[in-house]
Amino acid sequence: MTERVPVLQIGQILLVSIQTDLDDQAVVHLQDDLTARIVGTGADGVVIDISAVEIVDSFVGRMLATIASLSLLLDAQTVVVGMRPAVAITLVELGLSLGGVRTALTLEMGLKVLERSRVLRQGPSQELAESGLSDEDGVRADPAGQ
């Protein structure tokens, strides 16, 4: 009966948008599905959109942290996007800082984060110059990545 959250693929990126109140089993399924899809598709980025999520408790928080570290082991970077302010306030008070989880305010900014880290991974000089990105744009390597 437990629903499964769809995992969409756009190029090298897997996109998950959580739209409903998930029970714990669905959260575990999502973690397993995403891990399998990263390996199956060779994706190098994962975006998890939580803009419709009204609460993140310790169970969901742990899932986000686990996906973030799992994906790094599988050579992909995870960005969590769209966290509501009330959710952020509650998470901190709950005691969950989600230190290892990369976040961005919007989906668009999250995609930019992944794009920049892809450019950096593919080698320093050529593509960085071609893409017009530089350190002045705030480009930096993911501290947890390398």
Partner 1 sequence: MLAIAANDGVVRARQVARTLAQQCRLSLVEQTKLVTAASELARNTLVYGGGGTMTASLVDERGRRGVRLVFADQGPGIPDVDLALTDGWTSGSGMGLGLSGSKRLVDDFVLESAPGRGTTVTITKWGR
Kindly give, in sequence order, each residue whose CB lies less than 8 Å from that of residue 109, ignoring residues fewer than 6 positions away: 81
Among residues 93, 108, 135, 136, which is the contact residue for partner 1, using CB under 8 A?
A: 93
Find the binding residues for partner 1 in span 40-69 (CB under 8 A): 54-59, 62
- Beta partners for 45? 13, 77
Structure tokens at 61: 């928080």
* Smallest separation, CB 70 to partner 1 (Å): 17
First vs last Cα of the chain: how many Å apart? 40
Among residues 87, 113, 114, 119, which is the contact residue for partner 1, using CB under 8 A?
A: 87
Using the Cα atoms of residue 73, residue 30, residue 42 and residue 83 in order, give the sign of their dihedral: negative
Closer by beta carbon to partner 1, 84 or else 118: 84
Closer by beta carbon to partner 1, 29 or else 121: 29
Q: Where are the beta strands (DSSP E) in 7-137?
A: 7-10, 13-17, 45-49, 77-81, 102-104
Among residues 8, 52, 86, 144, which is the contact residue for partner 1, using CB under 8 A?
A: 86
* Smallest separation, CB 51 to partner 1 (Å): 14
Given the rule CB under 8 A, which residues bind partner 1? 2, 21-25, 54-59, 62, 84-87, 89-90, 93-96
